[in-house]
């Protein structure tokens, strides 16, 4: 077990916007074929963390290793190749609104020229079914969907190419509880069946325990606790306890965010 | 006094930075044209948007310009009994100057704004980030096809504008000012040199590139929600219009100053 190389290894990751310090030395390991749940207050830098790994935000300092390879210090083409194997569900969906739903879902497959357009259309229908949407939804444009449906289409797009690492930024926010459970199941399925590695950000503790093997909490730019997801509710850490039980009193005081 | 100097200094630094960023952006967009893949679908869409859908606007502008030119030059030349020059004044002004410039300004307002708004919205809703997580380079996918389409579509539009502008002059001259039809046409063609038309089309290609470049650049670098996109849209139109007029002078100097 100790010999295993983490799928994702982050050390000392720092990022400030102006004089606002968002990430202040993040250390995180995600083992292959497991799923990691990241929790933390609103504005604590969870989305920024994922975007740093994806290369969408340039961190100020630190190490990000994917499969033991430092993506911040390798050749640009290699870094792009390493990152191309990560599927991402953006917090707001980020669907391409000039394209129909099916083309959104199959975008990655078409871009990698793995299949032609007709096969892509069929494949999109299958993936949409996995997230509980009829194939006919594929003909609509993203603007014609409800918020929850957009989220599911975005999820379908993130997993369509069966990437070996998947990032989910609040996959179940905005979904009804039953659909939330279905989506959680789908994420677990991707990890178990496809052997993918998942990192999910969530504010939903039920969902966190369903998805996560491991869990970590980010607070004030640092990981203040990490452990098995099953221990989230009784971690013994006062901050985590307050957060997971949603108490108003505790070590975390609501501060005005800058 | 020192404040003033500092302000001037800051403004010139900002101008230099802007020019540098724009040049890098444009060169990088062009370099993506040379390396596969090329997104034909996006190119076709842009060509349709810039060329075909601008036809009515450009056509109307050209016809009225031709008509006004005939009328104005007639009243002017009549004072020197030089009415015969009307035909050549119309055709030379339209092909060398007014066709490309007016078409450029109209298209800048129509297409430059639309491009900046579309790409800007994609930026602030994370769609551009989503592209790069789906194995697609946004510069190659969004920018390169539009630059090429701009440089091709505008000359095509200007050919139409040249013909319609001359036609507008012809209509006024023959139906209102009593010119002989065959005489007017002969005068038009006699004075026209191939270089007049070609230089106009070359200008148009440059203007089309400028319009697409400003639309893409402002959109791509927009920040901060709907307001940011609005600002980008305005900036794209203003900058494109000014650059068109400036380059018009530079190109005229190049073509005709001996
Ligand atoms: N591009 C940016 N420019 C400037 N500041 C940014 C940028 N992106 C994020 N921030 C700031 O970084 C901080 C963390 O943002 P982030 O989106 O990562 O929060 P989060 O943990 O995902 O919160 P939430 O749970 O609400 O989504 C915020 O204070 C935000 O203002
Ligand atoms: Mg977030």
> Looking at this predicted complex, what is its ipTM?
0.88
If you average pLDDT over residues A222-241, what whole number do you get? 86
Asked if the C-beta of A111 comes within 8 angstroms of chain B's C-beta atoms, the answer is: yes
Taking 60 as the threshold, does the pLDDT of residue A18 lie above it? yes
State the closest ligand 1 atom to the C-alpha of A57, by its place in the atom list counted from 1. Answer: 1
Q: Is A218 helix (H, G, I), strand (E, B) or coil?
A: strand
pLDDT score of A256 more than 70: no
Domain containing B139 equals 2-256
- Given a cut of 50, whether residue A35 has pLDDT beyond it is yes
Average pLDDT over residues A53-68: 90
Interchain contact, A94 vs B134, CB within 8 Å:
no
Whole-angstrom CA distances from A251 to A82, A238, B1 are: 39, 7, 53
Q: Which residues of B touch A88 (CB under 8 A)?
A: 130, 133
Identify the CA nearest to B208 among candidates B118, B110, B119.
Answer: B110
CA atoms within 13 A on the CB side of B207: 38
Closest ligand 1 atom to the C-alpha of A258?
A: 29
Q: What is the pLDDT of residues A89-115, one digit of tens each?
A: 999 889 999 999 999 999 999 888 778
Ligand nearest to the CA of A43: 1
B47/B147 Cα distance (integer angstroms): 10
Residues B138, B128: contact at Cβ < 8 Å? yes
- Judging contacts by C-beta atoms under 8 Å, the chain A residues touching residue B129 are 51, 54, 56, 90, 94
Q: How many CB atoms lie within 10 A of CB A132?
A: 17
Strand partners, A17: A20
pLDDT score, position B114: 94
C-beta atoms of B133 and A87 within 8 A? yes
Between the CA of A20 and the centroid of ligand 2 the distance, in Å, is 16
- CA-based nearest distance A233→chain B, Å: 33
Distance A241 CA to ligand 1 centre (A): 23
Q: Which residues contact A100 (CB under 8 A, 6 or more apart)?
A: A138, A139, A140, A141
| Ligand 1 atom nearest to CA at A257 | 29
Cβ pairs bridging A and B (under 8 Å): 47
A234-239 contact pairs (CB < 8 A, 24+)? none
Query: Taking CA atoms, what residue in B is nearest to A109?
Result: B134
Mutant choice from A17, A94, A103 vs B, greatest count of B C-beta within 10 A: A94
Give the distance (Å) from ligand 1 centre to CA of residue A42.
8
Please tell me which of the candidates B118, B125, B136 has its beta carbon nearest to residue A94: B125
- Report residues whose beta carbon is within 6 angstroms of any ligand 1 atom: A 17, 22, 40, 42-48, 91, 257
- Kindly give the parts of chain B with pLDDT less than 50: none
Between A55, A97, A107, which is nearest B134 by CB? A107
Pick the closest to residue B192 from B156, B166, B170 (CA basis). B166
- Out of B122, B126, B133, name the one closest to residue A86 (CB): B133
Q: Enumerate residues 124 to 143 of chain B having a beta carbon within 8 A of any beta carbon in chain A.
A: 125-127, 129-136
- Tokens, residue A132: 């509980």
The DSSP secondary-structure symbol of A96 reads -
CA–CA separation, A161 and A115 (whole Å): 11
Q: What is the per-residue pLDDT for B171? A: 92
**Taking 60 as the threshold, does the pLDDT of residue A2 lie above it?**
no
* Position A27 pLDDT exceeds 60: yes
d(CA B176, CA B171) in angstroms, rounded, equals 8
For residue A167, give the chain B residue with the closest CA. Answer: B133
pLDDT (tens digit per residue) in A116-173 = 899 999 999 999 998 888 989 999 999 999 888 898 899 999 998 888 899 999 988 8
User: Which of the residue ranges A186-190, A200-204, B202-206 has the most confident prediction, judged by mean pLDDT?
Assistant: B202-206
Q: Which residues is A219 bridged to in the sheet?
A: A222
Q: Given its phi and psi angles, is residue B28 left (phi above 0), alpha (psi -120 to 50 degrees) or beta?
A: alpha
Q: What confidence tier does A1 reach under pLDDT thresholds 50, 70, 90? A: very low
Is A157's Cβ below 8 Å from some Cβ in B?
yes
pLDDT at B37: 86
**Of B197, B184, B171, B204, nearest to B68 (Cα)?**
B171
Going from the Cα of A55 to the center of ligand 1, the distance in angstroms, rounded, reads 16
**Helix, strand, coil % over all residues of chain B, rounded to 5:** 90, 0, 10
Model confidence band, residue A255 (pLDDT cutoffs 50, 70, 90)? low
Looking at beta carbons, which residues of chain A come within 8 Å of B132? Answer: 54-56
Domain count along chain B:
1
């Amino acid at each position: 077990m100790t010999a295993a190389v983490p799928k994702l290894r982050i050390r000392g990751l720092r990022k400030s916007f102006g004089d606002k310090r968002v990430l202040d030395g993040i250390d995180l390991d995600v083992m292959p074929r497991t799923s990691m749940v990241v929790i933390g207050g609103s504005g604590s830098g969870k989305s920024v963390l994922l975007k740093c790994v994806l290369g969408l935000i340039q961190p100020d300092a630190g190490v990000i290793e994917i499969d033991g390879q430092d993506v911040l210090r390798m050749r640009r083409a290699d870094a792009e190749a390493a990152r191309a194997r990560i599927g991402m569900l953006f917090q707001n969906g980020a669907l391409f609104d000039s394209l129909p739903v099916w083309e959104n879902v199959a975008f990655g497959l078409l871009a990698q020229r793995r299949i032609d357009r007709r096969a892509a259309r069929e494949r999109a229908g299958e993936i949409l079914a996995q997230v509980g949407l009829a194939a006919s939804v594929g003909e609509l444009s993203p603007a014609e969907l409800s918020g929850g449906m957009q989220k599911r289409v975005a999820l379908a797009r993130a997993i369509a190419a069966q990437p070996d690492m998947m990032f989910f930024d609040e996959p179940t926010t905005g979904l009804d509880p039953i659909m939330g459970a279905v989506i959680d199941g789908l994420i677990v399925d991707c990890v178990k069946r496809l052997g993918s590695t998942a990192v999910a950000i969530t504010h939903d503790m039920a969902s966190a325990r369903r998805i996560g093997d491991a869990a970590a909490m980010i607070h004030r730019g640092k990981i203040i606790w990490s452990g098995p997801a099953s221990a989230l509710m009784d971690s013994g850490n006062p901050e985590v306890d307050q957060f997971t039980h949603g108490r108003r009193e505790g070590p975390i005081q609501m501060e005005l965010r800058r | 006094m020192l404040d003033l100097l500092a302000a001037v200094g800051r403004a010139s630094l900002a101008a230099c930075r802007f020019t540098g960023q724009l040049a890098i952006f444009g060169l990088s967009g062009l370099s993506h044209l040379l390396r596969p893949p090329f997104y034909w679908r996006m190119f076709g869409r842009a060509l349709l948007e810039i060329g075909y859908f601008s036809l009515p606007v450009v056509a109307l502008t050209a016809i009225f310009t031709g008509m006004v030119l005939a009328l104005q030059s007639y009243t002017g030349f009549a004072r020197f009994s030089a009415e015969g020059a009307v035909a050549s004044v119309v055709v030379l002004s339209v092909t060398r100057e007014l066709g490309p410039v007016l078409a450029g300004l109209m298209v800048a307002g129509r297409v430059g704004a639309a491009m900046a708004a579309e790409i800007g919205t994609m930026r602030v809703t994370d769609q551009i980030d989503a592209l790069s997580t789906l194995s697609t380079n946004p510069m190659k996918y969004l920018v390169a096809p539009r630059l090429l389409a701009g440089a091709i579509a505008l000359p095509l539009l200007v050919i139409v504008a040249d013909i319609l502008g001359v036609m507008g002059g012809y209509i006024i001259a023959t139906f209102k000012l009593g010119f002989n039809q065959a005489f007017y046409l002969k005068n038009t063609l006699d004075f026209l040199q191939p270089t007049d038309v070609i230089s106009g089309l070359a200008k148009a290609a440059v203007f089309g590139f400028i319009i697409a470049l400003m639309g893409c650049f402002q959109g791509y670098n927009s920040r901060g929600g709907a307001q940011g996109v609005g600002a980008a849209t305005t900036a794209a139109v203003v900058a494109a219009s000014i650059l068109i007029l400036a380059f018009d002078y530079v190109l005229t100097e190049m073509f005709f100053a001996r």
